[in-house]
């Protein structure tokens, strides 16, 4: 696998019509500096606005992945991004003279061939790999979609598709070596759809640039003569140029691979993974993926990446089972003895959930007066430990915590179930329930030996110090 970032040596351009908008567009790939990533640039709009190809900019996943900044959109980004990601290009400026890259033949191959002619230039910064060291899962029970990333010191992808349709059947495909497999085995895989979908898509006006040369249409239902004529009118083709064929594909088009649909789904997944903004070291397994599920999966990877970014920032020594140790916590929170009431963070899902540990010992100063001969941890300090735990959860990758402080705004539904005694280990879970700008609400629960001892709903805000 490559160690250093790379970009293009030269500019290269292609021209064609967009699949969904049908508009003619010139796409130009250009070299870019280190850590630039992929950015689409709409040269047809005044001041040429940039749209970074990042997961937070995704606005639509209907039959393709659309990204936008403000009201400026780029439709159907996945094939372009798959070509860049598959060729391990890290930084590229992508100029468009319209709202959608040309569909070309429905695959990523025309883009990969153009990029190869431009050539590659190695840069002097290392790649920013996201190394997966725990299982990350996405599950959609309604659509029977599962995507999982497993730890692996490499990058591999396996895809299975099964639409419960005899015209397609069940297929699978796997990419095990990006450098050797992508160019010949996956970039040529073309987009596909079912015949039963074509009329519906045409009526929605989202395949204005679609024709019989840029998509594989799988026959999944018989058509009468009048239906064929209507379909030809919608596609803008002569009826004599359209046949139902004998091989299960409109116009008897030959597949480039026996499992071309599965390979194209893998190609789409690569394009959507590119929206993470960094290459991944993991084994990715996907069952029945689509753009909507891909995007949700990448969002989970993004949260994992942001959490790891924070961990690298504050936790300098990696420890098994620990996200932040006491030294990291002291770099994050302003609290000190005797009011620092958590010892370590053992689980952290950004903007979702955090779990801390507080070891309660007889040396705690509050036991001297609460109560002599019958030491019990004050309930208000359990709530304070919950608040400190939730305060760390309110971090994000852009916050400068050294210039900020987390303040209580409210406590609701506080209940104390059992006393906490010297020798107990408090396990505190804080789960985010609502977040608006700098204010968040979270539910806190404290356990001892698996038994609930305290629960409450808290509200807090992040404010600048000395404000």
Q: For residue 140, how many other CB atoms are within 10 A of its CB?
A: 16
Reported as half-sphere exposure (CB side, CA atoms, 13 A), residue 441 has a value of 8
Following CA atoms 57, 61, 62, 68 in sequence, which dihedral angle do they give, to the nearest 10 degrees?
A: 10
* Residue of 75, 79, 264, 291 marked catalytic: 291
Strand partners, 319: 322
Element at 280 (helix H, strand E): strand 280-287
Q: Enumerate the H helices of 182-259 as residue ranges.
A: 195-204, 225-235
Per the annotation, the verdict on 291 as an active-site residue is yes
Q: What are phi and psi of 35, to 5 degrees?
A: 60, 20
DSSP 53-81: --GGGEEE-SSS-EEEETTEEE---HHHH
Whether the bond between 338 and the residue before it is cis, its omega within 30 degrees of 0, is yes
The residue to which tokens 């919950």 are assigned? 386
Helix (H) or strand (E) holding 260: helix 260-273
* Active-site residue flag, 20: no
Give phi and psi for 38, each to the nearest 5: -110, 125
Which residues contact residue 247 at a Cβ distance below 8 angstroms, ignoring those fewer than 6 apart?
254
SS3 label, residue 450 = coil
Active site residues: 291, 370
């Amino acid at each position: 696998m490559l160690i250093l970032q790379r970009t293009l040596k030269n500019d290269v351009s292609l021209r064609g019509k967009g699949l969904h908008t049908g508009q003619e567009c010139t796409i130009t790939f250009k070299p870019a500096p280190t850590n630039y990533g992929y950015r689409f640039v709409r040269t047809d709009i005044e001041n040429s606005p940039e749209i970074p190809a990042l997961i937070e900019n995704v606005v639509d996943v209907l039959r393709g992945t659309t990204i936008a900044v403000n009201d400026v959109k780029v439709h159907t980004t996945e094939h372009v991004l798959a070509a860049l990601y598959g060729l391990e290009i890290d930084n590229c400026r992508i100029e468009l003279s319209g709202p959608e890259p040309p569909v070309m033949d429905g695959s990523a191959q025309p883009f990969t061939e153009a990029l190869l002619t431009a050539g590659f230039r190695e840069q002097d910064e290392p790649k920013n790999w996201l190394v997966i060291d725990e299982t990350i899962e996405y599950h959609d029970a309604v659509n029977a979609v599962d995507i999982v990333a497993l730890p692996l010191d490499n990058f591999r992808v396996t895809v299975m598709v099964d639409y419960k349709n005899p015209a397609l059947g069940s297929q699978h495909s796997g990419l095990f070596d990006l450098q050797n497999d992508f160019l010949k085995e996956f970039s040529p895989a073309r987009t596909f759809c079912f015949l039963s979908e074509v009329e519906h898509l045409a009526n929605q006006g989202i395949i204005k640039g679609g024709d019989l040369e840029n998509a594989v249409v799988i026959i999944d239902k018989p058509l009468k003569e009048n239906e064929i004529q209507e379909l030809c009118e919608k596609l803008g083709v002569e009826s004599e140029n359209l046949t139902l064929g004998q091989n299960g594909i409109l116009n008897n088009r030959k597949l480039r691979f026996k499992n071309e649909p599965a390979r194209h789904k893998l190609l789409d997944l690569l394009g959507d993974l590119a929206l993470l903004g960094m290459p991944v070291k993991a084994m990715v397994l996907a069952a029945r993926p689509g753009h909507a599920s891909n995007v949700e999966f990448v969002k989970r990877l993004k949260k994992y990446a942001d959490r790891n970014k924070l961990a690298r920032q504050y936790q300098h020594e990696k420890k098994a089972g620990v996200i932040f140790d006491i030294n990291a916590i002291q770099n994050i929170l302003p609290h000190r003895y005797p009011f620092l009431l958590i010892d370590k963070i053992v689980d952290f899902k950004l903007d979702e959930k955090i779990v801390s540990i507080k070891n309660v010992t007889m040396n705690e100063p509050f036991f001297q007066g609460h109560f002599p001969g019958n030491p019990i941890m004050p309930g208000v300090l359990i709530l304070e430990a919950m608040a400190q735990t939730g305060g760390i959860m309110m971090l994000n990758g852009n916050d400068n915590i050294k210039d900020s402080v987390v303040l209580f705004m409210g406590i609701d539904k506080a209940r104390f179930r059992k006393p906490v005694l010297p020798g107990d280990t408090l396990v505190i879970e804080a789960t985010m329930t609502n977040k608006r700008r700098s204010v968040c609400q979270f539910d806190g629960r404290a356990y001892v030996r698996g038994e609930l001892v305290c629960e409450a709903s808290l509200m807090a805000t992040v404010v600048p110090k000395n404000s």
